[in-house]
């Protein structure tokens, strides 16, 4: 693969000059740091623009998403939490839609979508609740009934 620094200037998805200091921006592939849940995580091998003057990093939307995914994946693994495909499998075993599983767990809307995409991950509490439901599927019926009782 050709070094990204050989890319024609017209191809680059980064600004020519830094918005913060006006410095020149180099295109390079290397480590990019991202903050997640109060931790700074370094992700290697990311193409990005970096200001020669102040070091400001510029990422394409695709690269920013990839960095976010990788950081979430690492932190999730380090904490021993269920992986996106495991969550999907639990939900599928219950025959529930994402919205129905969200109601069951008491999370906000679109939360399951993000957990299953891997862009964000569940709390330890939500993780344990999902493991309990996976081990004892009858708990899902119990929670659904409680939810029905509290409905207006």
| Residue 144 found at the interface with Zn ion (CB under 5 A) | no
Q: How far is the CB of 28 from Zn ion (least distance, A)?
A: 14
Name the pairing type of β-strands 39-51 and 25-36.
Answer: antiparallel
Cβ-contact 129, 137 below 8 angstroms? no
Binding segment for Zn ion among 11-19, 39-47, 104-112, 131-139 (CB under 5 A)?
11-19
Q: How far is the CB of 45 from Zn ion (least distance, A)?
A: 23
| Binders of Zn ion in range 12-71 (CB under 5 A) | 18, 20-21, 23, 51, 53-54, 56
Strands (E), the chain: 25-36, 39-51, 57-58
**How far is the first Cα of the chain from the last one, in angstroms, to the nearest whole number?**
61
Residue 18 vs 126, nearer CB to Zn ion = 18
Residue 14 vs 115, nearer CB to Zn ion = 14
Sign of CA dihedral 56, 62, 63, 65: positive
Provide the binding-site residues for Zn ion, judged by CB under 5 A: 18, 20-21, 23, 51, 53-54, 56
């Amino acid at each position: 693969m050709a070094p990204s620094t050989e890319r024609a200037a017209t191809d680059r998805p980064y600004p020519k000059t830094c918005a913060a200091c006006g410095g020149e921006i180099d295109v390079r592939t290397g480590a990019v740091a991202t903050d997640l849940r109060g931790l700074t995580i370094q992700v290697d091998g990311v193409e990005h623009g970096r200001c020669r003057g102040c070091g400001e990093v510029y990422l394409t939307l695709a690269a920013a998403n990839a960095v976010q995914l990788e950081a979430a994946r690492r932190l999730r693994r380090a904490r021993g939490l269920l992986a996106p495909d495991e969550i999907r499998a639990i939900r599928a075993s219950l025959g529930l839609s994402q919205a129905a599983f969200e109601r069951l767990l008491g999370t906000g809307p679109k939360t399951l979508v993000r957990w299953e995409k891997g862009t964000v991950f569940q709390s330890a509490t939500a993780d344990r609740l999902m493991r309990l439901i996976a081990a004892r599927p009858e708990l899902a019926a119990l929670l659904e009934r409680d939810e029905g009782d509290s409905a207006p």
